Amino acid sequence: MSDLDRVLERVDRDLDAAIQRLFDVLRIKSISTDPAFAKDCAANAEWHAADLRSIGFEAAARPTPGHPIVVAHDRSAAGPSALFYGHYDVQPVDPLELWDRDPFDPVIEAMPDGTKVIRGRGSADDKGQLMAFVEACRAWKAVTGRLPIPVSILLEGEEESGGPSLPGFLEANSKELKAEIGLICDTNMWDPRTPAIVTMLRGLCGEEVIIHAADRDLHSGFYGMAAANPNRILAKILADLYDDRGRITLAGFYDGVPDLPETLREQWKTLGFTAEKFLGVVGLSLPAGEQGRDALEMVWSRPSCEINGMGGGYQGDGFKTVIPAKASAKVSFRLVFDQDPHKVREAFRAHVRARVPADCRVEFIEHGAGRAIRFPDADPAFAKARRALSDEWGKPAVFIGSGGSIPVTHLLKTTLGMDVVLAGFGLEDDRIHSPNEKYNLQSFHKGIRSWVRILEALSK
C-alpha cells in the first residue's frame, strides 16, 4: 500500500475517535459576539492549541484585543508551504425555543432518508469543517510521522463577530504566517455528491442605524402625528433603499459591477440550478431581487442589500400605545467585483441623513467591511486540489462562486500575498446561523479523506 492508502485507511479506522474529539469542541459555548462567553472562547482556543501540540505542532493560543487566535506550525516537511485558516467561534443560538435539543449537546441523528448528521451549534460552521483538516493532519502524522508539506494553522475566535482583531494580527505576524498557498474550509459542496472549490466570494459591509426622536417614549394618543415617530421614519428610509425593479438606490452603488460574462453564464447553466428548487427547500418560490436576473446570478455575481434586524417601541406581550424614543435596524450589503465597502457605507449614511427630520438625530455603528475577491483557478494548486477532490468523491469537482463573505480571504491575499483554495464540505441545508444546525457525517468523514488527498497532491 502507498502512504496515501495507509493514511486513508487510518482515517476510516479512527472515525469514531474523531467524532468524539469533534463533540468535545462542539460542547464549548464559544459565542464570540456575547461577552458572557469570553471564557468559553478562551477555553476553546486552549483546547485547540493543546490538541495540535499533541500531534506534533508548535501551537499556542495568542492573545489579541478580543478573543485569542490559535497559531500552529509543523514545517518539518519539504515542499510548498500552506496556511490553513478556520474559526472556532460560533453564532448565538437564539431563538433557543426553536432548537429540538440543547445546541451544545451534540449528537448523531438519522434523517428520514437514512442520512446520518452531526447536530449542534458549530457542527458545520466551522468546527466540523476545521476539525476535518486537523484530523487529516493527525492521520498523516500517525501513519508516516510527518505531513506531506509544511503546514501552518490559524484559528480565529472572532469570525462570527466581524473579525476586528484579525487584520492587525496578520499585519503584525505576516512574516511568520506567510505561505505559498492558503487553505480555507468554511464553504460548501455544490451538492451532496459533487465537491466544489469556491473561486468567487462576495464582500461585506455591515451597518447599524439608530434614529433618535423624543427624549422618552410618548403616549400615542397625546402626541400621535404631532411628534416624530422613529419607527415610521426608519421604515421609510429602509423602503427607499430599493426601487420598483429590485435595484438598490444608493448613489454609485453599482460602480465596479460589470454584467456577467456570457461564457460564465453559460457555464453556470450546466450546473442544473433552478430558483424553484433553491427557494423551495426554505418554503419559498419567487426570486425577490433584481428583475431580469436569475437567482444564481443574484447570489454569486450581483450585490445585495438586506435588512437583518429591526426594533423600536413595545414588543412584549399585549399592546402598549407608545411612540418610541428610538428605532434601529441592522443592514448588510454583500458586494461583488470592485465595489468599495467604505464608499458603500458612506453612500448608505448619506441616504439616511437626507431623510432624517431636523429635530431628530441619527447614530451609526459600523459592523465590519471586506471586499469581494476572485482567485485564478488556472493556478496549479487549484488544479491539484480539484484532482484530489475528484478522486475522493468519484465526480469531477467544480469551480463555483459563493453568495457568502469570508473577509479573511481578502486579508490573506492583500496582507500575506497568497491565493486561497476554498474547499469545504458543507451543504445548503446545514442550517448554519439557524436553529438545529447540522453537518452530514459523510461531509465530516469524506472531508477528512479529502484533506488527506489535497495535502498529498500539493506535495507533488
> Domain spans of the chain?
3-201+373-458, 203-257+303-370
DSSP state letters, 155-185: EES-GGGT-TTHHHHHHHTHHHH--SEEEE-
In the sheet with 304-312, reading across from the earlier edge strand, the strands are 304-312, 326-335, 203-212, 361-370
Please tell me the distance from the alpha carbon of residue 217 to that of residue 326, in angstroms, as a whole number.
8
How far is it, in rounded angstroms, from Cα 282 to Cα 301? Answer: 22
Strand pairing class (196-201; 398-402): parallel
Output the DSSP codes for 322-341.
EE-SEEEEEEEEEE-TT--H
Report the distance separating Cα 111 and Cα 209, nearest Å.
Answer: 41
Q: What pLDDT does residue 271 have?
A: 87
- Domains 3-201+373-458 and 203-257+303-370 in one fold: no
Tens digit of each residue's pLDDT, the chain (460 residues): 899 999 999 999 999 999 999 999 999 999 999 999 999 999 999 999 999 999 999 999 999 999 999 999 999 999 999 999 999 999 999 999 999 999 999 999 999 999 999 999 999 999 999 999 999 999 999 999 999 999 999 999 999 998 999 999 999 999 999 999 999 999 999 999 999 999 888 988 999 999 999 999 999 999 999 999 999 999 999 999 999 999 999 999 999 898 887 877 887 888 889 999 899 988 999 999 999 998 999 998 999 999 999 999 999 999 999 999 999 999 999 999 889 999 999 999 999 999 999 999 999 999 988 888 888 777 899 999 999 999 999 999 998 888 877 878 989 999 999 999 999 999 999 999 999 999 999 999 999 999 999 999 999 9
CA–CA dist 73, 5 (Å, integer):
25
Q: What's the grid cell of residue 253?
A: 452603488
How many whole angstroms separate alpha carbon 44 and alpha carbon 30?
A: 7
Measured distance between the N- and C-terminal CA atoms of the chain, rounded to whole angstroms: 18
For residue 119, the model assigns a pLDDT of 98
pLDDT score of 206:
94
77 CB neighbour count, 10 Å cutoff: 17
- Strand 82-87 to 151-156 pairing: parallel
Q: What is the spatial distance between Cα 83 and Cα 179, in angstroms, rounded to a whole number?
A: 6
CA distance to 56, 139, 223, per residue, from 10 (Å): 17, 6, 73
Phi, psi of 385 (to 5 degrees): -65, -40
8 A C-beta contact, residue 320 and residue 314: yes
| Per-residue buried b or exposed e for 292-305, using 16+ beta carbons within 10 Å of the residue's own CB | ebbbbbbbbbbbbb
Write down the pLDDT at residue 179. Answer: 97
Query: In CATH, which superfamily holds the domain spanning 3-201+373-458?
Result: Zn peptidases (3.40.630.10)
Residue 191 CA to residue 426 CA, distance in Å, equals: 9
Which among 149, 165, 118 is positioned nearest to 447, based on CA atoms?
118
CA angle 449, 421, 29 (to 5 degrees): 70
Q: What is the pLDDT of residue 270?
A: 84
Phi/psi for 306 (5° steps) reads -130, 140
Tally of CB atoms within 10 A around 286 = 8
Domain 203-257+303-370: give its CATH architecture.
Answer: 2-Layer Sandwich (3.30)
Full-model pTM: 0.81
